[in-house]
Amino acid sequence: MDKIRIVGGNTLNGTIPISGAKNATLPLMIASLATAETLTLHNVPGLQDVVTLSRILGNHGVDYAVAGRRSGAKRGYGSTVKLTAGEIVDTTAPYDLVRRMRASFWVIGPLLARMGQARVSLPGGCAIGTRPVDFFLDALSSLGADIDIEQGYAVAETRNGLVGNRIAFPRVSVGATHVAMMAAALAKGESVIENAASEPEVVDVASCLNAMGAKIEGAGTRTIRIQGVDVLHGAEHSVVPDRIETGTYAMAAAMTGGNVTLTGTRAEHLGAALDTLEEAGVSIERGADSLTISRNGNGLMPVEVSTEPFPGFPTDLQAQLMALMTMAQGTSTIKETIFENRFMHVAELARLGASIRLDGQNAYVEGQPSLTGAEVMATDLRASVSLVIAGLAAEGETTVGRVYHLDRGFENLEEKLSACGAQIERLAA
């Protein structure tokens, strides 16, 4: 099992290109099941989750072809892929495949809408708390699907096609919003999704579905209206920049000091996170499609943050912020409201010298003058990169184990950080 070795203490200076968003790429790939024509996606990041999902889609009959990087594009900007589901050969998503990645459960939406049936294993995924699929199934039931749970599988069918209806989520769910949009796009009549997720990735998927012939309005707000169409066609779409990767590298630059420009990103997708960094004393220069992050010797100030659905502070940046606050000049309070088990990185940060006290949903981070390198272990995707951020600033050597978590969500992480002066390398198992 590979590890990452970091020798801390170097400031970061240079440019980091931001990849396409993992959290948009996966549902966009799944949307290819909704049409028999080719869906072409640009700016697809080279991630293990993308590889895994391509295999899962292949099980349903999707032909997945990588067309290569854009001409002249720098490493880290992703590839162009073509997905063609000319014939759905299997409407079952087996446990052995779905357990590898939770988002693969989302195939239930387009499979049901296009084929009238789907049999999908209940999912696995990161160990960051209970994430039930009730919202997904309730949404499909609202559209007229008959759903049963049989031996660990959600079995959905509809004899006469899905029918538009009102879908009201009891709380915001990005995944359920994706699935509801895909299914309702091919339902008869109008559907209204209330309390919908408004994340940029939802907007990106809606834009792609509209390019495929769907009629979706209101994406990016809490109410989405969808007028169903008979069929969707092929389209060409570029994946939105990854705001979580952007925030992660911004925090890495803030942690180490120096001056780093993040290119190919959108500041408006990171409002709350950027506001928090500026509150902590980090300088941020916003460009048309870039962000320049600098600290240059200034101390970090403590912050008080609560994770919230977009446009609030994202839960996927909580661990990274905690790593940053371990060296702030005072005590920070970080409240996790999205997932109940997303503080597993605390024990590993403590191995580096962090002082963190947990009390229910709250983490109290008492800043320290310095951290010390140690051997640590990644517990999930975002937790793993928080350990990298801490290791970049820690004195001495840090070794991060279980880096397969990192490979699920960060394209060329070592190369991007090394190009800015970090002493970081991958150690093969």
DSSP class of residue 315 equals G
β-strands 331-335, 362-366 pairing:
antiparallel
DSSP class of residue 20 equals B
Q: Which amino acid is at 95?
A: Y
Kindly give, in sequence order, each residue whose CB lies less than 8 Å from that of residue 107, ignoring residues fewer than 6 positions away. Answer: 30, 33, 56, 57, 60, 93, 118, 120
Contact 271, 284 (CB under 8 A): no
Quote the CA–CA distance of 100 and 98 in Å, as a whole number.
5
Reduce the DSSP state of residue 280 to 3 states and report it: coil
Which residue in the list 18, 24, 56, 126 is annotated as catalytic? 126
Q: Specify the DSSP element, H or E, that contains 413.
A: helix 413-418
Tokens found for residue 284 = 């941020």
Angle at 89 between CA 20 and CA 126, to 5 degrees: 40
Quote the CA–CA distance of 386 and 366 in Å, as a whole number.
16
At what angle are helices 134-142 and 174-185 packed, to 10 degrees?
20
Q: Specify the DSSP element, H or E, that contains 210.
A: helix 200-211
Reduce the DSSP state of residue 206 to 3 states and report it: helix
Quote the CA–CA distance of 382 and 310 in Å, as a whole number.
17
> Is 208 an active-site residue?
no
Angle at 340 between CA 334 and CA 342, to 5 degrees: 60
Catalytic residues: 126
